[in-house]
């Protein structure tokens, strides 16, 4: 039984590593499944017909129809703390789909369509879905013989942990570089 579980874990890790490597090679900042899910939510957003601005320019109310009494509130410029790092410009919604997953929901996609904003831009997506935060990200970079992350939206704010010599396998040590940036 234990060997079966260990085998499954190795297969999942291998598949995750391959997907991460594909994402890095293709210049993606989120995983393939995240893009697929957001695209599906963008299609669902077509069913939402009412997007209204509020007194605050970054806050919108979204309803399925003008007459609907149920609505969601979308913030297009939220500040989010993730792994102890503050990120701004993240889009958030108070609907159950977003609050349970932190993945862009149809409400956010509809507001983006209304504002003519690219909802697939990783700078708007919760950092939990950025590939740099995946536990196997550093290993994927090593496998690809890559060490630069210049394309990433987190440049200047976060760099993936670097394994120090002497650390046990799989254990990363965070270092703070100049300007307090985590390295």
Q: Check residue 46 and report its DSSP letter.
A: G
Cβ 181 vs Cβ 59: under 8 Å: no
Task: Check pLDDT > 80 for residue 149.
Answer: no
Q: What is the mean pLDDT of the chain?
A: 80
Lowest mean pLDDT, pick from 112-116, 157-161, 174-178: 174-178
Cα atoms in the 13 Å half-sphere on the side-chain side of 9: 6
Q: How far apart are CA 42 and CA 129, in angstroms?
A: 17
Helix (H, G, I), strand (E, B), or coil: what is residue 130?
strand
In the chain the beta strands, taken as DSSP E runs, fall at 50-53, 59-63, 72-82, 85-93
Q: How far apart are CA 125 and CA 37, in angstroms?
A: 12
Other CB atoms within a 10 A radius of the CB of residue 12 amount to: 10
More confident residue, 4 or 121: 121
Give the tens place of pLDDT for each residue, 30-62.
988 999 999 999 999 988 888 989 999 999 999
Task: Judge if pTM exceeds 0.75.
Answer: no
């Amino acid at each position: 039984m234990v060997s079966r579980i260990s085998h499954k874990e190795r297969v999942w890790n291998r598949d995750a590593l391959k997907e991460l490597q594909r994402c890095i090679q293709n210049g993606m900042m989120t995983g393939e499944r995240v893009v697929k899910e957001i695209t599906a939510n963008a299609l669902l957003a077509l069913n939402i017909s009412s997007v209204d601005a509020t007194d605050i320019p970054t806050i919108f109310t979204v309803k399925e129809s003008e007459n609907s009494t149920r609505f969601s509130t979308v913030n297009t410029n939220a500040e989010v703390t993730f792994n102890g790092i503050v990120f701004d410009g993240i889009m958030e919604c108070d609907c159950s789909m977003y609050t349970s997953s932190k993945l862009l929901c149809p409400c956010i996609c509809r507001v983006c369509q209304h504002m003519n904003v690219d909802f697939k831009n990783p700078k708007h997506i919760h950092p939990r879905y950025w590939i740099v935060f995946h536990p196997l990200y550093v290993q994927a970079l090593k496998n690809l013989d890559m060490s630069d992350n210049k394309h990433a939206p987190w440049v200047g704010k976060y760099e993936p942990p670097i394994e120090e010599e002497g650390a046990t396998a799989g254990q990363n040590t965070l270092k703070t570089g100049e300007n307090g940036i985590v390295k």
